[in-house]
Each structure stands twice: as C-alpha cells, then as structure tokens.
Amino acid sequence: MVSFNEDVFETSKTEASIGQVHSLGPNRRSSWKQESRKSGNESPLSYMGRKLKQAVGPSIGPVDSARHPEYRDEGSRGGFSRHEDDRERYKRERDYARQQYEKLERDNNEQRQVINQFQIQLQKEHDKVQRVTQSAHHMQTEMDNKELFLGPQATDDEVRARFDSVLASIKTWSTNFTSGSVESDVFKEDSLADYQSVAPMCRNTLHLMQVVGTKKRRRLFVRGWAACVMSKLLFRTLGTENQPASQAHDLWLDSSTAQSFLKIEDVIYLADRKEIPYRMFSDWRAFTAGLLSKNIQGTLEGHSQAEISRAVQEVMQLVASWGVLEKAREHEMTLTSIFVEAVRLSQFLRQQRALWCVRFPPRTAAVPEKRLETEQIASLKFDPSCMKDEWSEEEDESANVLHGKPVEIIITPALFKRGNLNGEHFDKEYQAAPAFVMLYRR
C-alpha cells in the first residue's frame, strides 16, 4: 500500500517518484538505512511517504489501493490519467457553473436596475397624476364657487335637504292638533275642491268628518292641509300639460317687481320651444332671479308678510279648533316661521339653473256624488314613480304591490325637477322627492 493520501498527491508526485527514491543524496540514503534497520527492513517508498507525511502534516494518510487502483505500485492502467480526467471534468463543470452563476447574477443586477428605474418613473407619474387631480379638484371647486353668469348652484341633495326640512317642521307642528273635537261646521262646502286636494276620495263634508275622525288621520290631514296651502300660495310653480300654474308669485320680491317678472316669464315660458328651448329659458330665469335677489329693496319678511299671513289664516281657520285654544296664537306664530322659511326656499329654487317645482299630485277625475264603491269614488291612484306610502314600512308592503290602490290622504307635495347643473336634459321632468300619501285600507 502506498503511504501517502490524495491530498498530498500533487506534492508527492512533483517532489519524489518511485524512480527518484534511489536517486536520493547520500545523506538521505544514510538516514533511510539507519531508520530501516530500526523499523525492520522499511522499503524506500514507505520511508519516503512517511517523511512526506511528517513534513506536510496530519492530513497525510494511506491511500486505499482497492478504491484507487491507479495508485498501485504495480503497473496501473495508464498511471494517473483517469484521476486527472475526472478532476479536469469536475473543474470544467465547476468553472461553467460559476460562469453561469456570475452571468445570472449580472442579469439579475441589470434587471433590478431596470425595475428600479421603472419604479422611479412610476412614482413620478403617480405624483404627476396626484398633482393633476388636485389641480382639477381645485379648478372644479373654483368653478363651483365662482359666480359666472349664474349664482352658486346647489346639488340635488342640498335642495332635497332644504325641502325636507320645511316638511319636517310642518310634521312637528301638526302634532298640536289632535286634542280638540271636530265640529260639524268646520268644513265649508264652497271649499270642498280645496279639501279634495288633500283628501281626494271625499265626496262631501260629511265624508271629510269621517276622514278626520281618528287622531292619526286628523294629524295626517293637518300636515297635508298646511303643505297644500303652502304649495299653492308660497311657491311660484309653472304650469304643465296636466296642471295649471300656481297662484303664487315670487313673494321675496316687492309686488310690482314680482308681477313684472311673472309676466315676462310667462311669455318666454309659453314661447315655441324651437325658438326658445327650455335651457335658454331656464338660464334667463335663474340669471334674472339671481340679479333681483341682489337688489331687493326692503326685507323678505316685509314683502311677503301679507301673503304669508293670508296662508297662515287659511290653515288656522280649519285646524285651530282641533288644538288647544289657549295656544292658538303660539301655533300661528310657529306656522308663520315655517312659511317664511318656505319663501326662502322658493327664492333659492328660482335661482337654480334646473327647473324645480313643488306640486301636489293632481286628481284625475271629478268625484262622483252618489257612488259608494271604493273603486268608483277614488280619483287618485297610487303611483310609485312620484308617491310613497306613509305606512308602507309598517305594513311591510312594497311599492309594486301598492300600485294602483286608491289614495285617501295626500300628506306632502312632491318635488319635481327638469334639467341639471350643466344645462342639459330639460326635455323631461322627473320626481326628485316623492309625495307622501296614505292609502285607503278599510
């Protein structure tokens, strides 16, 4: 067995070979002879291997000739060539793998640099979009707040909020009229048509007495009556194909100016739509109302005091006896404050580019005098497109199920709209807030 291992193979083969053992200098041969005598006939090859192991260190060890036949003393197959071929192949594979790794690492670094550049560009574009968005928002805010040829324009939600606020005040006020009794002469025959605007099924005053016979229906009728008078006398509403214009003029103006405005408006409103389309008419009306609002002589309460007092008295004459008589003056003052706010809402709507109208749903036919069947006497059917049942949530009924049922009491007016802030879609009117009604359920 050879007395040195693979780790020192390169050193041993360059320093000494089997053939070089006998060519050692005289000093080394003398040392070999002396130590050979001590160890017992040690061969020169073993001696050389031991000396190399001592010189290199503890890593030197015997080579297993069974595992490495190329190291046998006797003639090996080609000497060390097979081992050298394997090492060269391993080195080539290692070098190739190292080159591939280095190439992938370079590619990865290049891709990271590209990604970083894209991220930087993306962040710049994102910042640019944010700046443009902020600029557009600022521009829109400036346009919304800036008075061009029209005054500030309100959104649908803002209009509905003010409209609902007035109706909510009337609802609260109506709770004061459930304690008194209903006298037989409280309803006037010559006002039956007005009462039917609120109670469309009523044929006569006796039927009206039955409608307000319970406290709940009486309260709903009071709400409807106050809202009906308000709609007719305090809001300037233009006529349609199915409904005439309201009796009111613009109460926030002095009488002379309001009458002049009304006359000119009627002429333009009734003009040929091909000559003066709705958009042109609405722009003129909103612009004129805005200018007049800036030049009001006196106070709104002063201009509208007489008409508001007339509207309050028309309501109180019917409902005053249904409340506490000692508080009649207080109730009258509260209603006056509500109607003043309604006039302010009317002024606000007139300055909007869109055409807003406050109206009660129209009755479709005259009420028969002697017919008692519900289907025959009903002059107003439930229409889910512009109505909402006051009790539908309590009864858990959907609008489609209620469609076509007779309406017993109209509680609030509906809010209609034509056109928008951009001066478009004036060709069709739609409901912006429904009229609340109570359906006939007996």
Indicate the pLDDT class of residue 179, thresholds 50, 70 and 90: confident
Q: How far apart are CA 164 and CA 171, in angstroms?
A: 10
Token duo for residue 398: 């959907």
What angle separates helix 44-56 from helix 26-39, to the nearest 10 degrees? Answer: 100
Q: How far apart, in whole angstroms, are the C-alpha atoms of residue 336 and residue 340?
A: 6
Report the alpha-carbon distance of residue 81 to residue 291 in Å, rounded.
110
**Is residue 317 pLDDT above 90, yes or no?**
yes
Contact by Cβ (8 Å): 177, 321: no
**Cα(51)–Cα(201) distance, integer angstroms:** 130
Residue spans of alpha helices (H) in 212-327: 215-234, 255-269, 278-293, 300-319
Residue 202 has pLDDT above 70, yes or no: yes
In which band, very low, low, confident or very high, does the pLDDT at 249 lie, cut at 50, 70 and 90? Answer: confident
Alpha-carbon separation of residue 222 from 172, 178, 326, 372 (angstroms): 11, 9, 19, 25
Question: Coil, strand or helix: which one is 261?
Answer: helix
Q: Which residue has the higher pLDDT, 150 or 232?
A: 232
Rg of the chain over Cα atoms, rounded to whole angstroms, equals 52
Which of 167, 165, 312 has the alpha carbon at shortest distance from 229?
Answer: 312
Are 379 and 365 in contact by the 8 Å Cβ rule? The answer is yes
Residue 374, classed as helix, strand or coil, is helix
Per-residue pLDDT for 395 more than 70?
Answer: no
| Predicted pLDDT of residue 29 | 55
Would the pLDDT of 140 be above 80?
no
The predicted pLDDT at position 33 comes to 58
pLDDT surpasses 90 at 319: yes
Question: Which one has a higher pLDDT value, 136 or 54?
Answer: 136
**CA separation, residue 40 to residues 20, 61, 144, 325 (Å):** 22, 21, 115, 145
In this predicted structure, what is the pLDDT of residue 398? 65
Average pLDDT along the chain: 79
Return the half-sphere exposure (C-beta side, CA atoms, 13 A cut-off) of residue 62. 9
Q: Which of 27-31, 63-67, 248-252, 286-290 has the lowest mean pLDDT?
A: 63-67
Most confident of 36-45, 257-266, 301-310, 368-377: 257-266
Other C-beta atoms closer than 10 Å to the C-beta of 348 total 19
Bigger pLDDT: 12 vs 439:
439
Helix (H) or strand (E) holding 258: helix 255-269
Which pLDDT belongs to residue 78? 46
pTM: 0.63
In which band, very low, low, confident or very high, does the pLDDT at 428 lie, cut at 50, 70 and 90?
confident
